[in-house]
Amino acid sequence: MPQTRATFAPSPAPANRKTQWRSAALGLAALALAAAGCVQAGLHVDTQDRQPIQIPSLLSRLDDDPAVTNAAEWNARRAPLLRAAFQNRIYGWLPADDGARVTTRRQIATGAYPDARSIEEVTVRLDGAGAPVLFRAVIFLPQSNTATNAPVIIAPNFCGNEAALGFSDSALDHGAWLPSRCRTLANRTITRFIHGQNIIRPPFERLLRAGYAVVTFYPGEIVPDEPMLAAEAIARLPGQDRGPTMGAVGAWAWSISRAVDIVAADARFDHSHVAVFGHSRFGKAALLAAALDERITAVIANQSGRLGAAPSARNVGESLNELSRRFPHWFPIVAQSARENAPNLDQEALLALIAPRAILLGGASLDRWSDPVGSYEGAAATNDVYRLFGGHGLTQSSIETPDYSADIAFFMRPGRHGIRDLDWTAAIAFLDAHRNGTRYAQARP
């Protein structure tokens, strides 16, 4: 079911535990009924709902740029043209890559995570116009990679680092703005019930056992997910005088690249295996970050929806009008005019900018809102670009049969919008396949 936009309000007066949990139970029942209503309203995905995307090949002539015939021409001409067009017409111009500096490190006790060699919180400083911007990231290193550098997954979190770690550490609470769904234990419990057990906490222990380092941070510490606060925060970021000021999605993509700066400067990480996992709004940001930052070697975009992986040309799920109305701060232009401003620019071109690197797209059977079928169709439209680089793109025979070793894989699971255990099962299978070069059976996980 689509989320409503949270608006900032002062924290409520303290309540006793019995009152909090009574409110949580009532809220849980109401949300469960609402979720059931969404299913009954026809949100089930029809995987046969094909609407062929009526756009030219991504290699054909684009405005004044002639047709592309090889990878060198794509890299030299077409890719820069598309990157500029996406920023100028949809996401806004991201700041220059000035890099990020770690200014402090603090070790966190590893008792809650026995498979962690170390857990540390770092403070990251971003310099530019105006006052420097600070945010904090938490770095997990696995026990299994004590002798070698570890492949890493960058996973932005939705409710702050303290909630993501799952244990109380007052030093992790930095007083950043939080949406209402994150402000109390009761609200976070409801959020997990509706949107999955991993919506707030990535499965760090499972990822560590699989041999992956993890970097998590809260993008809302840089730009809050609230219209007025987002505008104020974006205005403080560097480089906002180049063209259309970026929206929150662009700012979150920029923050992902600043997390990549941390990884790139640290010899404990395997820089040839730098993955980003983003869900929903952060899935949009992850795709944009990977399209602009070639240091990202793999991207997992889970249910990223419109102006993520789903083409705007399709009339299924969330419309650009609805996206703009509900989240006016996410993009610098009026979203419903995106197709008018860029009639030859759709999301398959954003996916193509990631070639030849690996992409996993995720969908859910009760999440028609994010248009997984459109995302699958858009992914298939990138195959010509992947072939320029000697790859194949999306090769699986249907939307339900993922081939995790392919350049692009698509995963569908049962259930609603959110992050659940199966989403991370698919992500680990995909990353293992590209890390180890092994092939996985084409079967539903």
pLDDT in tens, 65-82: 999 999 999 999 999 999
Per-residue pLDDT of the chain (445 residues; tens, 9 = 90+): 333 333 333 333 444 545 444 544 444 444 443 444 343 334 667 666 656 556 678 999 988 999 999 999 999 999 999 999 999 889 998 987 767 888 889 998 878 899 999 999 998 887 765 567 788 999 999 997 666 799 999 999 999 998 898 877 767 777 788 988 888 889 889 988 999 889 999 999 999 999 999 999 999 999 999 999 999 899 888 776 666 788 999 999 999 999 999 999 999 999 999 999 999 999 999 999 999 999 999 999 999 999 999 998 888 888 888 898 899 999 986 544 555 555 578 999 999 999 999 999 999 999 999 999 999 999 999 999 999 999 999 999 899 999 999 999 999 999 999 999 999 999 999 999 998 764 433 333 3
> CB–CB of 304/287 below 8 Å?
yes
Kindly report the CATH class assigned to 17-436.
alpha beta
User: What is the chain's mean pLDDT, rounded?
Assistant: 83
pLDDT of residue 344: 72
